A and B are shown apart, each in its own frame.
Chain A
Amino acid sequence: MQLRVPEKLAMTLCLLVTSLTAPPHLSLALVTLMLIARRAIPGLRPMDNPTARRFRTVLGFLLGGAIIMTFLNGVLIREGPILFQWAGISLYDGGIEFGVRTGSRLLLMTSALLILFGSTPLSGITTFLHQIGVPIQIVMTIHLTVHFVASMPSRIERIYSAQEARGAPLRAHSLSRMFSLMSILSPLILSSIVESIERGKALELRGYSSAPRRADDTVPFSSPYSILTICFLLLSIAALLLPWLLG
């Protein structure tokens, strides 16, 4: 089953809305269902191995964090009866319930967004945005950002090494390190301004301008409103309204 970008976006919206209104057990059931769907449905599988690894790392980190935070909430928020007592540490029901509720909500939100971004190339999302009429400047900004993000770590590393070689106090006490921020950020920003000016010129030479688009500039449009998309959107509305209607 191949899912298109609008269907995935509608599904993610539905899960995000549900995470805000659903009880913890439903959120955890949906997380489990999402993890199964991620393996079973080809359209939701990660694009490549690094993406799959990142998904596992982030989800593992969140799961660990949720357990620790639930425990800390149970200890520090003294509401409701004591569930467990050991070596002078008491776990309170109210704190545990609060921790489980926020932890399950965060897990559902995170897994929904990670599955969306892990299974959809950013270019697919920007093409869809272009199709539905998002200004070309925003679409181009996203493309350029991806380019800059990819090159930034190596740039920062080069500047850091160069400044360290020049004797900048990068390992001194905290105030000196704070001032060292300038010695790293200044060349980084200056070089990026120069690159931005060159890129701006190149864009203009290639015909980009901020003037309104001509009709034939648009990408051929295919309706995003498939039955699946509409179902997910209706489910989102239901998830939003049901708790309110049921009081």
Chain B
Amino acid sequence: MSSRIRHQFDRELDGAGLPFVAFCIALNLTVGQITAALKLPLYLDSVGTVLAAVLCGPLSAILAGALSNILAGAFGNPSMMFFVPVVIVIGAFSGYLAKRGWFRSWYLAAAGGVLQGVLAAAVSAPIAAFLFGGVMFAGTDVLVLYFRSVGNTLLQSVFYQGLSSDPVDKIVTYLLVYFICRNLPLRLLQRFHGGNNILASKTAQ
């Protein structure tokens, strides 16, 4: 690790940062319990990653995303481990957007969610297609089969399936993180390295 990245990593995980990133990973792993209880057809499995990106920074988000997928393997969902590149992209991209102030207004956050959804679909499609043949043992597999049966290639079918579900999921994720961070008290935001990503809009109110 180069010294600049190491220094940035240390700053992001200082104080409350490290336990909070651990919580974000746990949130990624258990948020399915909430969506199942509310009977919502959403994954929201990157809500912790985006939260870490906004409150801590991009490197923390990459760590949160990567460890979420690796630990998902340990907790009984091994195929998630192969999607680590996707969550690295999600973490880096949401960290970049947070730094550029995209979480200071709801419409920018929603637009970020759309971009993130398209990016996630593009990065995950080759992995899902070439490693798993588009079969992830989820309800969305039927969509992949449908797109294939109408004459698309495997990669196209997986990408279209991703496009049909990922942007909506990521818009909801981004808006949730936006509203949650916006409602956090200033004294709590100041404890985090990435608090400035939200603070400017709060202090302007």
A76 at interface, CB cutoff 8 A: yes
Max chain A CB contacts within 10 Å: which of B26, B40, B79? B26
A174 at interface, CB cutoff 8 A: yes
Which stretch in B93-101, B118-126, B129-137, B196-204 binds the other chain? Answer: B129-137
B17 CB contacts on chain A under 8 angstroms: 196, 200
Q: Quick one: closest A residue to B64, CB to CB?
A: A141
Given A141-B21, A148-B22, are A113 and B16 neighbors across the interface (CB < 8 Å)? no
Could you tell me if B137 and A149 are in contact, using CB atoms closer than 8 angstroms? no
Could you tell me if A141 and B67 are in contact, using CB atoms closer than 8 angstroms? yes
Q: Quick one: closest B residue to A147, CB to CB?
A: B22
Contacting residue for A114 out of B27, B29, B78, B148, CB 8 A:
B78
B142 CB contacts on chain A under 8 angstroms: 72
A residues 103-161 in Cβ contact with B at 8 Å: 103, 105-106, 109-110, 112-114, 117, 122, 135, 137-138, 140-145, 147-149, 152-153, 156, 160
Which stretch in A3-11, A82-90, A203-211, A218-226 binds the other chain? Answer: A203-211
Contacting residue for A152 out of B27, B38, B51, B71, CB 8 A:
B27
Given A76-B145, A141-B67, A152-B26, are A200 and B15 neighbors across the interface (CB < 8 Å)? yes
Bound complex: CA A62 to CA B141 (Å): 14
Which stretch in A186-194, A227-235, A239-247 binds the other chain? Answer: A186-194
Q: Quick one: closest A residue to B55, CB to CB?
A: A193
Could you tell me if A181 and B34 are in contact, using CB atoms closer than 8 angstroms? yes
B33 CB contacts on chain A under 8 angstroms: 152-153, 156
Could you tell me if A199 and B176 are in contact, using CB atoms closer than 8 angstroms? no
B4 at interface, CB cutoff 8 A: no
CB distance from A108 to the nearest CB of B (A): 11
B23 at interface, CB cutoff 8 A: yes
Contacting residue for A103 out of B27, B78, B135, B180, CB 8 A:
B135
CB distance from A195 to the nearest CB of B (A): 7
Could you tell me if A141 and B18 are in contact, using CB atoms closer than 8 angstroms? yes
Interface residues on A, range: 35 or more
Contacting residue for B23 out of A73, A76, A170, A192, CB 8 A:
A192
Bound complex: CA A105 to CA B133 (Å): 10
Main secondary structure of the interface of A (DSSP, over half): helix
A33 at interface, CB cutoff 8 A: no
Q: Quick one: closest B residue to A194, CB to CB?
A: B188
CB distance from A104 to the nearest CB of B (A): 11
- Using A148-B26, A178-B172 as known contacts, list a sample of 16 further A-B pairs with CB atoms less than 8 Å apart, ordered by residue number in A: A65-B137, A76-B148, A103-B135, A109-B79, A137-B18, A141-B21, A142-B71, A145-B29, A152-B30, A181-B34, A200-B17, A200-B19, A203-B18, A203-B19, A210-B10, A210-B14
Could you jot down 20 A-B contacts, CB within 8 Å? A20-B131, A54-B76, A76-B149, A99-B135, A113-B81, A122-B74, A137-B18, A144-B19, A145-B26, A149-B29, A152-B29, A177-B38, A177-B40, A181-B35, A182-B179, A182-B180, A188-B27, A192-B20, A193-B16, A210-B9
User: Which 8 A-B pairs have CB atoms at the shortest separation, nearest pair first?
Assistant: A102-B133, A144-B22, A148-B26, A113-B78, A210-B10, A200-B16, A199-B19, A196-B19
B interface residue numbers (CB < 8 A to A): 1, 9-11, 13-23, 25-27, 29-30, 33-35, 37-40, 44, 47, 51, 63, 67, 71, 73-76, 78-79, 81-82, 131-135, 137, 141-142, 145-146, 148-149, 172, 176, 179-180, 183-184, 188, 191
